[in-house]
Structure 1
Amino acid sequence: MTARFMTMQDVADELAVSLSQVYHMVRSGELPAIKVGGRGQWRIERARLEDYIEGKYAETAQWVRTNPLIDRDDT
């Protein structure tokens, strides 16, 4: 069974980004997370990460639709 919550490092590894990028996404509210324990360690629910990824796919698809490649001359 897959763990429900992931550490910030787990998320960084999963997204192939730096740990500082994950902290920025969490602190800015872009990626939902919770603080747990006496030392307030961040945890991201796997389902929330999957929602985030799906949202990024939709956002990227929209960007591609509105920014098509047009008659580029690659020579």
Structure 2
Amino acid sequence: MEPRFLLMSDVAEQLNVSMSQVYHMVRSGELPAIKVGGRGQWRIERSKLEEYIQRKYDETAAWVRENPLTGREDFDEE
């Protein structure tokens, strides 16, 4: 059984982003999280992460609809 709550490092690994990016998403309210324990460690509920991912898919699909391909420059990868 998978744990209900994830560490910020787990989320960073799953999203393939840095810890500072996850911290920013949490602090901005973009990704819901809770602080637990005496030292206030952040935890992200697995279901909230899945909701965040789905929301990003929806936002990306809307962006793609609003910004159709216009040329080869759209294929540049980071």
Q: Same fold (TM over 0.5)?
A: yes
2 CA distance for matches of 1:73 and 1:15?
27
Which structure has the greater CA radius of gyration? Answer: 1
Q: Counterpart in 1 of 2:10?
A: 10
Q: Counterpart in 2 of 1:55?
A: 55
Gaps of 5+ in 2: 74-78
Q: Which runs of 4+ in 1 moved over 6 A?
A: none
Q: Counterpart in 1 of 2:23?
A: 23
Partner of 2:42, secondary structure, is strand
> Aligned residue pairs: how many?
73
User: CA separation of 1:20/1:65 partners in 2, compared to 1, >3 Å: closer, same or farther?
Assistant: same
2 CA distance for matches of 1:53 and 1:69?
24
Partner of 1:20, secondary structure, is helix
Among all aligned residue pairs of Structure 1 and Structure 2, give the percentage whose two residues are the same amino acid.
Answer: 71
2 CA distance for matches of 1:73 and 1:37?
51
Q: CA deviation at 1:48?
A: 0.2
Q: Counterpart in 1 of 2:44?
A: 44
Deviations 1:16-48 (A, max 9, x none): 000000000000000000000000000000000
Gaps of 5+ in 1: none
Question: TM-score scaled to structure 2, two decimals?
Answer: 0.90
Q: CA deviation at 1:73?
A: 6.3
